[in-house]
Chains A and B, each alone.
Chain A
Amino acid sequence: MADLNPANFNFDDATRKELSEFLEKQQAQARLQGSILTFTSRCWDKCITGTPSTGFSRSEQGCLSNCVGRFLDTSIFMVKKIEADREAMGYGNAS
C-alpha cells in the first residue's frame, strides 16, 4: 500500500496549490453527489410506492423531479420564514 501522505512527495509550491484547489473541487463534487444520493432516497420513498415495473410512468417521473424542486423550495421558504419571524419580533437588523 503506497503511502499517499503529501508530506512524502516533495511537491513545490505551485503543485501544492494546484493540489489543494483540486481537492477543494473534488470535495465539492463529493458533497453534490451526497446530496443527490439523499434526494434519490427521499424522493423514492415519496414517489415510487408500487411494485417496481419495467419503467417509470410519466407521473412517477414528474413526481421525482418535482420532489427535488419542492424540497429545495421548502428549505428556502423555511429560511425566509425564520428571518421574517425574527424581524417581526424586533430581532432583525435595524434599518
Chain B
Amino acid sequence: MASFLGSSSTSPADMQSKKEMLMDSVRREIALQNAQELMNKANEKCFERCITKPGTALSGSEQTCLSRCLDRYMEAFNIVSKTYITRISQESAPQS
C-alpha cells in the first residue's frame, strides 16, 4: 500500500494490479459521464414536456408524466443505440 506510487522497482504482479486499477478508473469515469449526460438530457426534455405551467409543487399528473417520460427517454435511447450500432456495423462490413 505504501509503495503504491512512485516505487522505483515494480513487480509484475504489482504492475498488473496498477494497470487494472487504471483501466477500471477510466471505465468508471466514462460510464459515469455517459449516465450523467443521459440524465441531464432526460431531465431537460421531460421538464419541457411535462411541466408546462409550473405550480407551487409538482402535481400528481406532472409526476406521472415525468415518470413515463423518463422511461420513454430511456427507451428512445435504446432504440437509437440499437439502430445506430446496426448501421455502423453494416457500413464497416466488407462490401459484398
Residues of A within 8 A of B (CB): 2-4, 6, 8-12, 15, 18-19, 22-23, 26, 29-30, 32-37, 39-41, 43-45, 47-48, 51-56, 61, 64-65, 67-69, 72
Query: Are A40 and B5 in touch, CB under 8 angstroms?
Result: no
Q: What is the interface of chain A mostly: helix, strand, loop, or mixed?
A: helix
Q: How far is the CB of A78 from chain B (nearest CB, A)?
A: 16
Q: How far is the CB of B13 from chain A (nearest CB, A)?
A: 12
Query: Are A68 and B80 in touch, CB under 8 angstroms?
Result: yes
- In the bound assembly, the distance between CA atoms of A54 and B81 in angstroms comes to 20
Cβ contacts under 8 Å, A33 to chain B: 30, 34
- In the bound assembly, the distance between CA atoms of A69 and B26 in angstroms comes to 31
Q: Top 5 A-B pairs ranked by shortest CB distance?
A: A52-B69, A52-B68, A68-B83, A10-B10, A65-B83
Query: Are A22 and B26 in touch, CB under 8 angstroms?
Result: yes
Query: Are B73 and A40 in touch, CB under 8 angstroms?
Result: yes
Q: How far is the CB of A47 from chain B (nearest CB, A)?
A: 8
The residue in chain A whose Cβ has the minimal distance to the Cβ of B45 is A44
Interface check B79, CB cutoff 8 A? yes
- In the bound assembly, the distance between CA atoms of A57 and B43 in angstroms comes to 22
